[in-house]
Amino acid sequence: MCQPGCARQCQRCPAEDTLLIKSQRFDGLQKRVTEYFTKLQLIEQTLTYKIIKAVLVQDFIDCWQAVRAVALGR
C-alpha cells in the first residue's frame, strides 16, 4: 500500500500486490484509423480556448442577469 508522502512510486501497482494470472497475445487485432481534424477542432481542444470560452460565457451570463434585474426593477 502507498505510504503518506509517497509520490512517484504510488502511481504504479506495488509488485507485492500484483499477481499475473496469464499472458496471452492476440494477433491480427489491429485497425488502421485515419481521421482528419479541422483547425477549429484542434483549437477547441486547447486549454486556452476552454478557459476563454468559460470566461466569456460567464461574463455573458452575469451581464444578462444584471440587465434582467434592472428590467424587473430589482
pLDDT of 22-64, one tens digit each?
Answer: 888 888 888 888 999 999 999 888 988 899 999 999 999 999 9
**Of how many residues is the chain composed?**
74
Residue-range domain boundaries for the chain: 37-74
CB-based contacts of 9, cutoff 8 Å, min separation 6: 2
d(CA 2, CA 4): 7
d(CA 8, CA 60): 42
Report the pLDDT value the prediction gives residue 10, as an integer from 0 to 100.
58
CA atoms in the 13 A half-sphere facing the CB of 53: 8
Report the pLDDT value the prediction gives residue 27, as an integer from 0 to 100.
86
Confidence of residue 15 (pLDDT cuts 50, 70, 90): confident
d(CA 48, CA 12): 31
Confirm whether pTM is higher than 0.95.
no
